[in-house]
Amino acid sequence: DRAGSPGCALQFPGNTSHVTIPFSSDFDQGPADAFSISLWYQGGSSNGTDQEWLFAKRQVGASWVDTDYGLVLYDLNQVLGSLGPNGEVWSNVLPPVPDPQWHHVVYIYDNGTQQLWLDNMLVNSST
């Protein structure tokens, strides 16, 4: 909730807008923990090498390689759920073409199992 007001949302009127949440160990996750990330995004990039982070939890000043967990749009709007440097789960929605529609994506991690949902459909999972 924005400013403690229920039912509010944040709006990003451009491609450089973002929210920074100060670092807190409250957001650290261990291997046996469970969490989910849920958000709406609008795709539409026609650049095959684009990489846009929708959400990322990382240490201040860390590069994208050092992301603890997050969601990214990559290579013509393919959704990637990422957990640590080697835990990527790609969506397998094909064909990967620019799509200017709004999509709901959910990334779930539960005790070593990762799931990636796109528009209410499970598109990939791994353990």
pLDDT (tens, 9 = 90+) of the chain, 127 residues, equals: 456 666 667 777 666 777 776 777 777 777 677 888 888 887 777 676 777 777 777 777 766 666 777 787 776 677 777 777 655 666 555 455 567 788 888 888 888 888 889 899 898 888 7
CB-count exposure of residue 20 (10 Å: 0-12, 13-18, 19+): exposed
User: How far is Cα of residue 69 from the mean position of the Cα atoms in its chain?
Assistant: 8
Give me the domains of the chain, ranges plus CATH numbers: 33-126 (2.60.120.200)
* Backbone phi and psi for residue 110, each to the nearest 5 degrees, phi listed first: -145, 105
Q: Supply the pTM of this predicted model.
A: 0.73
